[in-house]
Amino acid sequence: MASGAVKKTAKAQAQPESSDAENVLEQPDVLPKKRPDAGEGRVKTGVPGLDELIGGGFEKGSTVVVMGSAGCGKTTMLSQFLYNGAVEYGEAGVMISFEEQPDAILRHMKGYGFDFAALEKQGLFSTVSYRPHEVKKLVDEGGGLILDTISSIGAKRLAVDSLTSYALLFETQYQAREAEITLFELLQKWKCTTLMSAEWLGEGKKSGAGSVEYLADGVIIMHHPRHKSLRYRAIEILKMRGAKQSEKLCPFELIDGFGVKIYPNEEIFYKLKEKD
């Protein structure tokens, strides 16, 4: 294990005949309920409404970036991708954090009903976090700690929160750009399907992360614009490899006890609302 970096390994591997019957009885709701189509074709996102917009899900092993301003719902979507991925499709996932401590993230995500502690007990979830001074080690060592964690639970899904925080940990823009490329190369090597967040300041405005659009296999934008006295939430698929993507901006909600819900058959009409 890379010294200094924080690692939380699953306490127990998922086993069909667990001797710890108490755990199983305590968390009946999060036991994986595998659907018949799990593992076939594209990777289901676990975010209601999203698969319909991207040809059925993410391409297996691809890296998709979800961009947006602070508070637009990026961490929520990342968490939902991992949580529902485990609960609905039986796929283990790892959350890699470069900003908030994972404990804080997971506490906030509990409001959406994502019980990561229970998943961790079943060996379906784990976290890795890097503090600012440790991040160079990730690049130098080729992410050994992350790979160990992926192997320890057989993870199929990764969430990286966020690329912007990661890039900002490097001194020069050149180093940050190099490090971004290294991270994307590592993610490709690890073969998990990855959802990564990045700050997006608006059309044509530069964020800490470089030209993510070119490195990623897919780009999703979570818009949160204000119009008159109201803010709207809308999702846009900017790019999605191997899929015919929707060109529409679709509304979505952040729902307590649930997470992100996208309405793929609805469109945003400011004008209609204006007349109200």
Ligand X SMILES: Nc1ncnc2c1ncn2[C@@H]1O[C@H](COP(=O)(O)OP(=O)(O)O)[C@@H](O)[C@H]1O
Binding site for ligand X (CB under 6 A): 68, 70-76, 111-112, 254-256
Q: How far is the CB of 87 from Mg ion (least distance, A)?
A: 21
Q: How far apart are CA 192 and CA 146, in angstroms?
A: 11
Nearer to Mg ion, 25 or 70 (CB): 70
Q: How far apart are CA 42 and CA 73, in angstroms?
A: 23
Nearer to ligand X, 145 or 168 (CB): 168
75 in contact with Mg ion (CB under 5 A): yes
Residue 98 binding partner per list Mg ion, ligand X, none, with a CB distance cut-off of 5 to 8 Å that depends on partner kind: none
> Residues 54, 240: contact at Cβ < 8 Å?
yes
Nearer to ligand X, 2 or 82 (CB): 82
Helices (H), 90-202: 102-109, 116-121, 135-140, 144-153, 163-168, 173-190
Nearer to ligand X, 49 or 55 (CB): 49
Residue 254 binding partner per list ligand X, Mg ion, none, with a CB distance cut-off of 5 to 8 Å that depends on partner kind: ligand X
b/e sequence 81-103, b meaning 16+ C-beta within 10 Å: bbbbbbbebbbbbbbbbbbbebe
Q: How far is the CB of 30 from ligand X (least distance, A)?
A: 17
Residue 111 binding partner per list Mg ion, ligand X, none, with a CB distance cut-off of 5 to 8 Å that depends on partner kind: ligand X
Q: How far is the CB of 78 from ligand X (least distance, A)?
A: 8
Q: How far is the CB of 66 from ligand X (least distance, A)?
A: 8
> Nearest 5°: phi and psi at 235?
-115, 145
Specify the DSSP class assigned to residue 97. Answer: E
Q: Which residue has the tokens 């890296």?
A: 63
Q: What is the DSSP string of 101-115?
A: -HHHHHHHHGGGT--
Residue 73 binding partner per list Mg ion, ligand X, none, with a CB distance cut-off of 5 to 8 Å that depends on partner kind: ligand X
Residue type, 257: G
Please tell me whether residue 154 adopts helix, strand or coil conformation: coil
Q: With CB under 5 A, what is the number of residues at the site for Mg ion?
A: 1
97 in contact with Mg ion (CB under 5 A): no
Nearer to Mg ion, 79 or 84 (CB): 79
Nearer to ligand X, 45 or 123 (CB): 45
Q: How far apart are CA 85 and CA 63, in angstroms?
A: 16
76 in contact with Mg ion (CB under 5 A): no
Residue 47 binding partner per list Mg ion, ligand X, none, with a CB distance cut-off of 5 to 8 Å that depends on partner kind: none
Q: Give which of 169, 89, 105 is closest to 136, Cα–Cα.
A: 169
Nearer to Mg ion, 75 or 126 (CB): 75
Q: How far is the CB of 104 from ligand X (least distance, A)?
A: 11
Q: How far apart are CA 77 and CA 95, in angstroms?
A: 12
Q: How far apart are CA 239 and CA 220, in angstroms?
A: 7
Q: How far is the CB of 162 from ligand X (least distance, A)?
A: 8
Residue 76 binding partner per list ligand X, Mg ion, none, with a CB distance cut-off of 5 to 8 Å that depends on partner kind: ligand X
Q: How far apart are CA 131 and CA 140, in angstroms?
A: 15
Specify the DSSP class assigned to residue 208. Answer: S
Residues of this chain that interact with Mg ion (CB under 5 A) are 75
